[in-house]
Amino acid sequence: MARVYNFSAGPAVLPEEVLQEAADEMMDYRGCGLSVMEMSHRSKTFDDIINTAKQDLKDLMNIPDDYEILFVQGGASQQFAAVPMNLMRNRVADYIVTGQWAKKAYQEGQIYGDAYKIASSEDKTFSYIPDCSDLPIHDNADYVYICENNTIYGTKFWKLPNTKGKILVSDMSSCFLSQPVDVTNYGLIIAGAQKNIGPAGVVVVIIRKDLIRDDVLPCTPTMLKYKTHADNNSLYNTPPAYGIYICGKVFKWLKDMGGLTVMQERNEKKAKLLYDYLDKSKMFRGTVVKEDRSIMNVPFVTDSDELNKKFIAEAAQNGLVQLSGHRTVGGMRASIYNAMPYAGVEKLVKFMSDFEKENA
Amino acid sequence: MARVYNFSAGPAVLPEEVLQEAADEMMDYRGCGLSVMEMSHRSKTFDDIINTAKQDLKDLMNIPDDYEILFVQGGASQQFAAVPMNLMRNRVADYIVTGQWAKKAYQEGQIYGDAYKIASSEDKTFSYIPDCSDLPIHDNADYVYICENNTIYGTKFWKLPNTKGKILVSDMSSCFLSQPVDVTNYGLIIAGAQKNIGPAGVVVVIIRKDLIRDDVLPCTPTMLKYKTHADNNSLYNTPPAYGIYICGKVFKWLKDMGGLTVMQERNEKKAKLLYDYLDKSKMFRGTVVKEDRSIMNVPFVTDSDELNKKFIAEAAQNGLVQLSGHRTVGGMRASIYNAMPYAGVEKLVKFMSDFEKENA
């Protein structure tokens, strides 16, 4: 087995220890004689799996008791509808559009009410985070929506917007668990698993309990009501059980690593190595304004499409894979989530440096 | 490793060969150096996985070209909303209520229009399938809905209802791929994976292409529109990639077994062994009228709750697990899906027979 360094933006690299455990337990989960994939979600064993996962996430993020953790399906894309369906009581919401995913959320919001774009960075290809200290928040806005880390463009909100008292909803998919956050700043956090948590097909929702209500928009499917899942410990119907099991293993791994403060240090160190190289390179350059750089997704380019292609192909031959930029923007992108070891970024930077010399 | 015989109704037993292959490929999918869980859904490798899965399913079920296969999320429960949202043009639909899942679908349908219960077997605890040869189908009904195999109660439609020309929508979750079907009888088939296909978190939708339309109900989330998924080969957003990969392996396994005609023979033989025993037992009895018996889910009881409990506990000690009836009905239930070998049913019947002698 020759594992590669996998820079995919998602589905993305998972900790080797987690995968190895999953492989070892595939035929027989801890003496049960069956796989977690084959296990009733109403069994005591699965109850332990989901409850342990919830508790470990609660510990990791220091989630207060007045917040509920849900495991749901459909990706963040489905949450783009669930958020307004559950929260848009006045049918008004403010969106800060800092990339394709925020834009999609904003467009979906328009199906359900008056969704306003109160700030955007589209004028410069989403290469920065707009000043959000004094935005025209609507008096009757039900929430302010952000995508906190923009996977495609490589920007991150390092300072949360001033919502002027309104509920903050954050799509945290690609920075979830990468550093400590103060959960009390948010009304609702959504995170697709396939970046920093586990396999695609699970979304973690962290919601302040007073926002879990029965009076959702009239056409809301039962499965899109947060209350449905909150009332049933995410077991209203069969959950994506195997995915939750893997997420639970990742939470345990993060605890073993020392928790989110340690992860932040590691992530900052990895990002610094790559950004420092980009800043001094004559061939490669980052595409994002420095102060808004993500430490999870690092897009970069050369001045030539041909050279970009050559780089991606040769990198892959050297065990550095999935370095293509998003299909809508081109260039390169290195996603360096929690599970990417420092050695992977070292090898990437070394390869970039060699490539630069050879192709100067 | 001591594998047990697992009679869970879902998530349910999977073929050992499939699980073993998945375990072997966990750290390194066929020389890629990464797990399918870590792989971009936009990669060539994953494209092969999803397209092969689709083609194999098409081959197995002999699905005509004017039908589309979709892999979506949210379970059948989410389809209870998606079906009316996509198909209820006249806001009228007829439901045949033969169990809890059909009832839930019917109730969800009422959110979106006039959903009528045109037949039901609730009067006798859903222990039979009503006569559906001449039902009061509404002239403007957009579809007629059935749950074709009732997992909880153990009944099956052995003859499809006369829909008088209306579109038939079938929740086939617990009998999917258990025998050949004529897909052209249906407008729409839905099947949650966690019974006969793969891990929970994937739903297979087979839809006649003319029913995939843009003019869905106005409040339909983008993710619940069949067109969204049909237009993007089920890759509009990140799909439940690992689940689809396992489903694909099960499709391959079914082809290797000889296809659905062979599976039907095997399934009938397994079911006959168990039903024959139930019919002659003085202690155990089936709960369903003979002509409507499912060959996938076999509920049975003794006359004593205490004895039921004792049976379930002792069976588990003997490696025959997850034999409890659904939490809403009690008693026992043996789910004997495709992946349950004949030897498992033999062992169960032998154990029942011994138990009956010892506890006579």
Q: Encode pLDDT of A265-277 as tens digits.
A: 999 999 999 999 9
Q: Band of the pLDDT at A2, cuts 50, 70, 90?
A: confident
Angle between helices A241-257 and A260-280 (to 10 degrees): 80
pLDDT at res. A329: 81
pLDDT at res. A239: 97
Q: Do A322 and B43 touch (CB under 8 A)?
A: yes
As separate numbers, helices (DSSP H) first and strands (DSSP E) second, chain B gives 9, 14
Burial A145-171 (b: 16+ CB within 10 A, else e): bbbbbbbbbbbbbeebbebeebbbbbb
Q: Which two tokens stand for residue A120?
A: 């955007």
Q: Do B246 and A321 touch (CB under 8 A)?
A: no
Strand partners, B144: B94, B168
Compute the distance between CA of residue B22 and CA of residue A36 in angstroms, rounded to an integer.
13
Mean pLDDT across chain A: 97
Q: Do B3 and A73 touch (CB under 8 A)?
A: no
The full set of domains in chain A, from first to last, is 16-257 (3.40.640.10), 259-358 (3.90.1150.10)
What's the rounded mean pLDDT across residues A222-232? 98
Strand partners, B156: B149
What is the end-to-end Cα distance of chain B in Å, rounded? Answer: 35
Q: Is B44 helix (H, G, I), strand (E, B) or coil?
A: helix
What's the rounded mean pLDDT across residues B145-172? 98
Q: Which of A101, A156, A166, A249 is catalytic?
A: A101
Mention every residue, 6+ apart, whose C-beta is less than 8 A from residue A333. A7, A9, A152, A154, A297, A298, A299, A300, A323, A324, A325, A326
pTM value? 0.98
- Name the residue in chain B with its Cα closest to that of A27: B19
Compute the distance between CA of residue B227 and CA of residue A223 in angstroms, rounded to an integer.
20
| Residues of A with Cβ-Cβ distance to B81 under 8 angstroms | 221-224
For residues A276 and A290, is the Cβ–Cβ distance under 8 A? no
For residues B196 and B176, is the Cβ–Cβ distance under 8 A? yes
Compute the distance between CA of residue B128 and CA of residue A97 in angstroms, rounded to an integer.
55
What's the rounded mean pLDDT across residues B72-80? 98
Query: Nearest-CA distance from A67 to chain B in Å?
Result: 23
Query: What is the residue whose two structure tokens read 């801890």?
Result: A30
Which residue type does A235 have?
L
- Name the residue in chain A with its Cα closest to that of B217: A219
Q: Band of the pLDDT at B330, cuts 50, 70, 90?
A: confident
Q: Band of the pLDDT at B360, cuts 50, 70, 90?
A: confident
ipTM of the complex: 0.97
Burial class (CB within 10 angstroms; exposed 0-12, middle 13-18, buried 19+) of A267: buried
What's the rounded mean pLDDT across residues B325-349? 94
Query: Nearest-CA distance from B304 to chain A in Å?
Result: 23
Compute the distance between CA of residue A96 and CA of residue A213 in angstroms, rounded to an integer.
25
Contacts by A158-161, CB closer than 8 A, 24 or more apart: A158/A129, A158/A291, A158/A292, A159/A132, A160/A132, A160/A185, A161/A96, A161/A119, A161/A132, A161/A133, A161/A135
* Residue range A164-210, pLDDT digits in tens: 999 999 999 999 999 999 999 999 999 999 999 999 999 999 999 99
Burial class (CB within 10 angstroms; exposed 0-12, middle 13-18, buried 19+) of B257: middle
Q: Do A11 and B240 touch (CB under 8 A)?
A: no
| Better-predicted residue by pLDDT, B326 or A241 | A241
Query: Nearest-CA distance from B12 to chain A in Å?
Result: 4
pLDDT above 60 for B1: no
Query: What is the residue whose two structure tokens read 């949202």?
Result: B85
Known active-site residue A171? yes
pLDDT above 80 for A1: no
Q: Which of A56, A94, A142, A171 is catalytic?
A: A171
Q: Do B242 and A199 touch (CB under 8 A)?
A: yes
Q: Do A76 and B237 touch (CB under 8 A)?
A: yes
CA angle A359, A310, B41 (to 5 degrees): 150
Compute the distance between CA of residue B118 and CA of residue A224 in angstroms, rounded to an integer.
28
Burial class (CB within 10 angstroms; exposed 0-12, middle 13-18, buried 19+) of B210: exposed
Mutate: best of A35, A214, A217, A249, partner B, most B CBs <10 A:
A35
Strand partners, A72: A203
pLDDT at res. B44: 94
For residues B7 and B322, is the Cβ–Cβ distance under 8 A? yes
CA-nearest of B5, B62, B86, B69 to B233 is B69
Q: Do B111 and A219 touch (CB under 8 A)?
A: yes
| Residues of B with Cβ-Cβ distance to A243 under 8 angstroms | 201, 240, 242-243
What's the rounded mean pLDDT across residues A88-113? 98
Mutate: best of B42, B171, B223, partner A, most A CBs <10 A:
B223
| Residues of B with Cβ-Cβ distance to A29 under 8 angstroms | none
